[in-house]
C-alpha cells in the first residue's frame, strides 16, 4: 500500500519542452496528454453567475524560425522525413507548425517513458489523422494498441453535417511488454437476462456456439474501445469553468488500466488538473506541466475543493515566489500583456477571476464570486498608491459588489489602513437553514493585501456560503 503522504507531487509553470528534456530516461510509467488541437480559436475560462470569462489559452499555431530549428535538429530521422514531406506537400502552414511542435515533444516523451509504460494522446478530428502518423513514426505501428472513442452528449449548434459528439484517444505503449489492468463494464440488461436464461449464443466460423451456462460473471464484460462518459456539464460539481476540462471518470479509467499505486503519471499539458486529481485519488505519483498561469490557478482551486489537504506538500516550480521575481518577470516588463499577467497572478492567487480586458477597466481588475447575488471586487496596483485609489474602490461597492480587495506592491500607509478599517463591515445576508458560512468573524468591506502577503499565501477574509451538512 502507498501512503499518500509519500506521493511525489510536482507542478511546473512552464513550457513543457525544457522540462521534458530535463527528465531522466525511462522514469515515467504513464503519460496522458490533452494538447491543444490546432482548432485555431481562443479558449476562455467561463465563470458562474455571469461573472464573465478570461482567456485561458489560444489554440493557434504559426510557423516560426523555431519550427525550422526543431526539424533541423531532430535526430529521429523517420519523424523528420514525415514532417519534411508534410511541409513540402502542405506548405509551412499552421497544421504543420502544430505537428512539428507536437513531434519534438512526443520524441522526448518516448525517451522518458519506461519500457513497461503507456501513453494516451487525447485529440479530436481536427488533427487526429495527422497525429496518428506522427505517433506511428515515433512509437512504432507495432506499439499502437487502441483508438479509444470517448462518446458524450452535449448541446451542439446547427450545422449542415452530423453532430460532433466524440473525441479520440490514441493508446500506445513503448514496448510489447507493458503494464495493463483489464477493466470490466456492466452487461447490457438484455445480455444479462439472456445469459441467466441460458439462451445467449454467438457466431464463430459461420456456426452458432452456445456461450452461456445460466450464470454471469459478476465483474461484467471486458471494457471495449468506445467509452460513454458524460461531458462535464456546466452545473456539475466538478466543473471549474476551464474550457477543455475533461471528466474525472475518463482519467480514472485510463489510470486504472495503465498504472498501479505508486507509479509515476505525467501530464505535460495539464490544464485545470483533472489528471493530477485522478492520480492523487488513486495514489499515483504525479507531475503536471502547463504554460499558462490560469491553469496553475485552476489546479489550486481544484485542490482547495478536495479533501486531500495536500497543497502544502505540492512542489510548484516556475511560479514567482519572491517580489524580485514578480518585479523582474511581470511588473517591469515592457509588454502590456505581461503587466496584465501581473494582475492575473495577483487575482488568481486569491481565487479570483481576472478582468481580461486590456486598458481601462473601471478600477476593477478582478472579481471573486461569494454566491449568486454577491461578489468581491479586486483592484491591483503595481506602482505608487494613494488613499484616493482606495476611496475609489469603496465607491464601487454597490449592488452585487459587497467587498473590495486592494492589492498593492508597496506597503500602505497608516492613513490608508485607517481609511479601510473605517469603511464598514460586511453584513451577512439571511440564508436558509441548509446554508452556513465558513466564517462568522467580522469581515471588513475594504481589505488591503500586499504582494508580499500574497506570496506568503495570505488570503482575503470572505464569507463563502456552503451547504450545511450537519
Cβ proximity of 70 and 80 under 8 Å? no
150-206 pLDDT, tens digit per residue, is 999 877 667 888 888 999 999 999 999 999 999 999 887 777 777 766 665 665 666
Topology (CATH) of 4-177+232-317: Rossmann fold (3.40.50)
DSSP string, 108-127: HHHHHEEEEEEEEEEE-TTT
User: Is-above-0.95 flag for pTM?
Assistant: no
CA 179 – CA 192 distance, rounded (Å): 30
Q: What are 337-346's contacts with CB under 8 Å, separation 24+?
A: 339/382, 341/293, 342/380, 342/382, 343/380, 344/54, 344/293, 344/294, 345/293, 345/320, 346/378, 346/380, 346/407, 346/451, 346/454
Start-to-end C-alpha separation, the chain: 33
Torsional sign, CA 419, 392, 293, 439: positive
Give the sign of the dihedral formed by CA 411, CA 417, CA 420, CA 421: positive
DSSP E strands, 282-329 = 285-290, 315-317
pLDDT band at 269 (very low <50, low <70, confident <90, very high): very high
Q: What is the DSSP letter of 36?
A: -
Please, which pLDDT band fits residue 48 given cuts at 50, 70 and 90? very low
Gap between the Cα atoms of 269 and 293, Å rounded: 12
In whole angstroms, give the CA distance from residue 140 to residue 151.
Answer: 27
Q: 132 pLDDT exceeds 70?
A: yes
Place of cell 487502441: 146
85-112 per-position pLDDT tens digit: 988 998 888 889 999 999 999 999 999 9
Q: How far apart, in whole angstroms, are the C-alpha atoms of residue 176 and residue 144?
A: 10
Decide: 10 and 286 in contact? Cβ < 8 Å. yes
Q: What is the CATH number of domain 323-467?
A: 3.40.1350
The domains of the chain are located at 4-177+232-317, 184-222, 323-467
Amino acid at each position: 500500500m502507498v501512503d499518500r503522504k509519500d506521493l511525489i507531487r510536482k507542478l511546473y509553470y512552464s513550457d513543457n519542452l525544457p522540462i521534458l528534456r530535463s527528465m531522466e530516461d525511462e522514469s515515467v510509467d504513464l503519460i496522458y496528454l490533452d494538447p491543444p488541437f490546432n482548432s485555431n480559436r481562443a479558449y476562455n475560462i467561463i465563470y458562474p453567475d455571469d461573472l464573465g470569462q478570461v482567456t485561458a489559452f489560444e489554440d493557434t499555431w504559426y510557423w516560426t524560425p523555431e519550427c525550422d530549428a526543431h526539424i533541423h535538429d531532430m535526430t529521429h530521422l523517420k519523424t523528420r522525413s514525415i514532417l519534411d514531406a508534410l511541409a513540402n506537400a502542405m506548405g509551412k502552414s499552421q497544421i504543420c507548425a502544430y505537428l512539428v511542435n507536437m513531434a519534438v515533444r512526443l520524441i522526448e516523451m518516448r525517451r522518458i517513458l519506461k519500457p513497461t509504460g503507456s501513453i494516451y494522446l487525447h485529440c479530436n478530428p481536427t488533427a487526429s489523422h495527422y497525429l496518428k502518423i506522427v505517433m506511428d513514426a515515433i512509437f512504432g505501428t507495432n506499439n499502437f494498441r487502441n483508438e479509444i472513442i470517448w462518446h458524450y452528449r452535449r448541446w451542439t449548434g446547427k450545422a449542415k453535417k452530423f453532430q460532433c459528439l466524440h473525441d479520440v484517444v490514441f493508446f500506445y505503449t513503448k514496448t510489447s511488454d507493458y503494464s495493463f489492468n483489464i477493466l470490466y463494464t456492466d452487461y447490457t440488461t438484455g445480455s444479462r437476462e439472456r445469459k441467466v436464461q441460458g439462451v445467449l449464443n454467438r457466431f464463430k466460423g459461420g456456426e452458432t456456439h452456445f456461450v452461456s451456462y445460466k450464470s454471469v460473471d459478476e465483474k461484467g464484460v471486458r471494457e471495449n474501445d468506445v467509452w460513454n462518459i458524460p461531458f462535464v456539464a456546466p452545473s456539475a460539481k466538478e466543473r471549474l469553468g476551464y474550457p477543455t476540462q475533461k471528466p474525472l471518470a475518463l482519467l480514472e479509467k485510463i489510470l486504472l488500466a495503465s498504472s498501479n499505486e505508486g507509479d509515476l503519471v505525467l501530464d505535460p499539458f495539464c490544464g485545470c488538473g483533472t489528471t493530477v486529481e485522478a492520480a492523487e485519488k488513486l495514489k499515483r505519483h504525479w507531475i503536471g506541466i502547463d504554460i499558462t498561469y490560469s491553469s496553475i490557478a485552476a489546479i489550486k482551486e481544484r485542490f482547495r475543493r478536495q479533501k486531500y489537504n495536500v497543497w502544502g506538500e505540492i512542489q510548484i516550480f516556475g511560479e514567482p515566489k519572491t517580489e524580485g521575481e514578480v518585479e523582474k518577470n511581470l511588473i517591469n516588463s515592457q509588454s502590456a500583456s505581461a503587466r496584465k499577467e501581473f494582475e492575473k497572478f495577483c487575482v488568481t492567487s486569491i481565487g479570483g477571476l481576472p478582468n481580461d480586458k486590456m486598458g481601462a477597466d473601471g478600477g476593477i481588475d478582478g472579481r471573486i464570486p461569494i454566491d449568486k447575488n454577491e461578489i468581491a471586487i479586486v483592484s491591483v496596483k503595481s506602482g505608487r498608491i494613494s488613499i484616493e485609489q482606495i476611496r475609489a474602490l469603496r465607491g464601487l461597492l454597490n449592488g452585487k459588489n459587497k467587498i473590495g480587495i486592494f492589492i498593492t506592491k508597496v506597503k500602505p500607509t497608516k492613513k490608508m489602513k485607517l481609511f479601510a478599517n473605517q469603511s464598514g463591515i460586511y453584513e451577512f445576508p439571511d440564508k436558509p437553514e441548509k446554508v452556513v458560512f465558513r466564517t462568522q468573524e467580522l469581515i471588513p468591506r475594504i481589505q488591503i493585501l500586499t504582494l508580499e502577503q500574497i506570496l506568503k499565501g495570505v488570503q482575503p477574509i470572505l464569507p463563502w456560503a456552503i451547504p450545511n451538512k450537519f
